Amino acid sequence: MIAYDFTVMAGSMGAIGEQFKAARVRELALRYRKPIVWLLDSAGARIQEAAGSTFAGTGYLFYDQVVMSGVIPQVAAMLGPCAAGTAYIPGLSDFVPMVKGTSSMSLGGARLVKAATGEEVTDHDMGGSQVHCYESGVGDNEVEDDAACIAEVRRFLSYLPSSNTDPPPYHDTGDSPDRMVTELEKIVPTNPRAAYDVRRVVKAIFDHDTWFEIKPTWAKNIVVGFARAGGHAVGVVANQPMQKGGILDSDAADKAARFIRMCDAFNVALVYLMDVPGFMVGSQVEKEGIIRHGAKMLYATSEATVPKITVVMRKAYGAGYYVMAGKGYQPDVIVVWPFAEISVMGPEGAVNIIFNKQIEASDNPEETRARMIETIKEQISPYVAAGWAMIDDVIDPAETRRVIVHGIEQARGKKVDRPWRKHGNIPV
């Protein structure tokens, strides 16, 4: 653990001795493969020393963080301000909880911003938890006070191993792996357009009281977090119909990709709960680079070699099916609920695009449209997919927990052979 004490020179990074002390902790954490936690309450690099040891020391810090990335878990607990140099610590960490009202982070503090640009802004308006946990996505979870922040750190680390060479810790929760989840029928409507809160599905399926959501207030159209399945730590990626109908956009893809890569780095199995209408379309999202952002999630899912379990609950449309670990992305188990639909798009949209002229020319357009929609629904049913061996099974929703737990147990010792490479070139 490394803590920046704001009561001593505003917690700023300065003399070479201070830098060596922190560097020694990083060295030992990496040598012994132990997680590292920063308690951040710092004004950043000491300006009066920036031309010398401070500037060089922060360079070593960020280099070390990159070396440690994916080897040991890194947590940046934001207990106060964090400006300039220290702001990159959370930027390179795996988990960044922020204390509401007191923590902030920015590349330049309010006074520097005023001097450089003339903009009048406070540290919190520029980089408080309301900015980074709701808008930018740099922060993960907003908490009420320092004690809650420390508790959040402990809970996060409870799902991860000490290093990438260890399995995640197992905890017997007393929740039977074979428990049937009959309440899912009441939670998830069969109408593909009806909304519901997917977090209720997650809490019902996984071990009682083990759900730990990450980034709950940013990119809310996708839900990610940790849970336990029969005592095993799992990373959950679930579409959220309560927000934008669960459609994927750039922020949702970034959020999911980052989480998937973290789980894969630390040997945490992934469970995809799919109810996705696809990716957002339109000129505005294309200008924002949705292809590039969506490719990050596609890349992360493809690259992951941990056990992957996919449950298609209702909709699996378009490229959303791919990034949520569809058949081509090597899920160890892929199952579908009986009323699910797997298709390039929904039947209504398909009819409007393919058969619109025929419908307009018919004597009874509405009847013709309804008949064509029903025909397409028959073609995209899960039983057709099962007949093509595109899925492993059509299951009763109540069986979902049992299938997930047994799938993870079966795949725990999996080996994946890939061509040697220095590293891939992930879209950024």
Average pLDDT along the chain: 90
Question: How far is Cα 247 from Cα 151, in angstroms, rounded to an integer?
Answer: 33
The owner of tokens 């099916």 is 321
98 band by pLDDT with thresholds 50, 70 and 90: very high
* List of E strands, 107-210: 142-143
Q: Which residue has the higher pLDDT, 376 or 95?
A: 95
Residue 385, CA atoms < 13 Å, CB-side half-sphere:
23
347 band by pLDDT with thresholds 50, 70 and 90: confident
| Domains of the chain from N-terminus onward | 2-157 (3.90.226.10), 184-337+395-411 (3.90.226.10)
Q: Does pTM surpass 0.85?
A: yes
Cα of 262 vs its chain's centroid, Å: 8
pLDDT of residue 6: 63
Question: How far is Cα 176 from Cα 180, in angstroms, rounded to an integer?
Answer: 9
What average pLDDT score do residues 331-355 get?
A: 83
pLDDT of residue 129: 96
What average pLDDT score do residues 25-50 get?
A: 83
Model confidence at 8: pLDDT above 70: no
Question: How far is Cα 77 from Cα 302, in angstroms, rounded to an integer?
Answer: 31
What average pLDDT score do residues 333-354 get?
A: 83
For a pLDDT cut of 90, what percent of the chain falls above it? 70
What average pLDDT score do residues 263-285 get?
A: 97
Instruction: Give the tens place of pLDDT for each residue, 135-188.
Output: 999 999 999 999 999 999 999 999 999 999 999 999 999 999 999 999 999 999
pLDDT of residue 132: 97
Q: Which of the residue ranges 21-30, 295-304, 414-423 has the most confident prediction, judged by mean pLDDT?
A: 295-304
87 band by pLDDT with thresholds 50, 70 and 90: confident
Residue 162, CA atoms < 13 Å, CB-side half-sphere:
6
Distances (CA, A) of 176 to 205, 232, 310: 11, 12, 21
381 band by pLDDT with thresholds 50, 70 and 90: confident
Model confidence at 393: pLDDT above 90: yes
Which of 377, 260, 404 is closest to 323 using CA atoms? Answer: 260
**Type of residue numbered 139:** G
Least confident stretch, 17-26, 100-109, 168-177 = 17-26
Tell the burial category of 259 from Cβ atoms under 10 Å away from its Cβ (0-12, 13-18, 19+). Answer: buried
Strand partners, 313: none
pLDDT of residue 373: 75
